[in-house]
Amino acid sequence: MTTCLYLDTARLGQMCPEAQQADRDFARLAGEEAGSLYYDLFLRVGFFSLPPSLRRRYPGLADWSGVASLKTRIKTALALPRARPLLLANRAAMLVRLASRALCRRCENVLVTDMLWPAYRAILEQECRAQKRTLTTLPLQGPVLNDRISQDELVDRVLERYFGENCDGLLLSALTSRGVRLPIPQIIPAVSRVRRPGFVVVDAAQAVNHTPLHAAAPYCDFLIAGCHKWLRAYHPLGLGCCCRPTADTVVAEVSREMTERGQLDDPLLSFTWELENGRCEAFSETVNLAPLFTAAAAVSRIWRSPLCRNEAFDRQIANTDRVAEVAHSTGWQPVRPAASLRSGILLLQAKRSETRSAAPDTLRLAFRRWGLAVSAYVGGLIRTSFLPDTLSPPGLSQVRSALGRCA
């Protein structure tokens, strides 16, 4: 049993017990039944296609009931529109490339903020250069985290930059890696009252099973997420949801074009499409299937949770509030946005200059020695991320002690 308090879910979620059991049992099934008819039926139809003896042998796979069912359960659990198409891919970055190509197909000038994940921005920049489109950046990180502007001020800044630069598309993060919730349900309607964007993409990589998605999904054309962080499925599985019917045509056209050119080469994306549509290519690429089963188990965990999503989120916020309260007396300064923009991610910055000059790996290792797993950045900045049940009274004492020792 680990003695480390895991506060690094915003980087990589700690694999939940249900996903662990599914992972173990799939490894055993693949080792003992791979190539058999039972195995093929299991992939296509699901757990209950197995004979009773094998169901008893691999109980961790009970949540698998085929690709179509997995997609429906994901959309329902994450409050995504159930009638809309959902893409599954080994790499979320491939879905970002698809979304970036769609943005450039429909828009001349795409607005992003300086809080967009750098790898995603690089993909969008590449597509904009190739398609001769303009990429406009709105600086928000400083105003939000240092000046603590309000939600209304944030929306006003987006509108001012969007219309001032004559933008017609957006790629925004529902929740940034620094823990800022962008008010998508306020931004997009405000923009659309003047001129509806040609295409809107929402990055929900940090938002899935953390902040409620039902508010943001209706306002975007394409939503991108993953299963290895807050969902705690561990194995990367990218999710791409066409949230509005108007997005279907452009996403289908771009997908077909990229596939023909060999640019949409994600093996799981192709394989799940084949499984769902009853086709099997004779020379398809070998694909890692483990993410399907750990995701199915992690989604089922959500179904069994006694907390609704809003209640769970309130607990996450309460955890960050408690840590922020004790941080001041331990040599750390909370770096937080206005209350309406907060999440279960809390940034803390060291007050001492010696700690601020420490290398991120040194700082991260120091916290690990004192029982906390955190992310660390230059400037003595650490990122902590809290699940609803992360912080018991002993856990809070452990956090206080580690902060004091690492200050």
> Based on the domain organization, do 267 and 340 belong to the same domain?
no
Claim to verify: residue 194 and residue 264 sit in the same structural domain: yes
- State residue 282's pLDDT score: 43
Q: In the listed set 44, 65, 86, which residue is the last one of a domain according to the structure? A: 65
Tell me, yes or no, whether 45 and 123 share the same domain: no
The answer to whether position 2 is within a domain reads no
User: For position 33, what pLDDT does the model report?
Assistant: 81
Examine the domain organization and report whether 84 and 40 are in the same domain.
no
Q: Model pTM greater than 0.75?
A: yes
Span 26-71, pLDDT tens digits: 999 988 887 777 788 888 889 999 999 999 999 999 999 999 999 9
Q: Give domain status of residue 7, yes or no.
A: no
Whether 318 is covered by a domain: the verdict is yes
The answer as to whether 223 is a domain residue is yes
Q: Is residue 114 part of a domain?
A: yes
86 and 40 within one domain? no
The residue among 284, 302, 320 that closes a domain is 302
Query: Are 296 and 203 in the same domain?
Result: yes
Distances (CA, A) of 315 to 52, 79, 321: 41, 19, 10
Same domain as 124, residue 28: no
10: in domain: no
Residues 386 and 319 in one domain: yes
Task: Look up the domain containing 50 and give its range.
Answer: 17-65
**Total domains in the fold of the chain:** 3
| Domain membership flag for residue 6 | no
Last residue of a domain, one of 302, 335, 358: 302
Confidence at residue 270, expressed as pLDDT on a 0 to 100 scale: 85
In a shared domain, residues 25 and 152: no
Residues 53 and 189 in one domain: no
* 61 and 92, same domain (yes or no): no
Q: For residue 202, what is the domain's CATH number?
A: 3.40.640.10
Q: Are residues 237 and 312 in the same domain?
A: no
User: For residue 23, what pLDDT is reported?
Assistant: 97
For residue 278, the model assigns a pLDDT of 63
Q: Give the chain's residues under pLDDT 70.
A: 1-3, 278-285
- CATH assignment at residue 379: 3.90.1150.10
Per the domain annotation, does 51 fall within a domain? yes
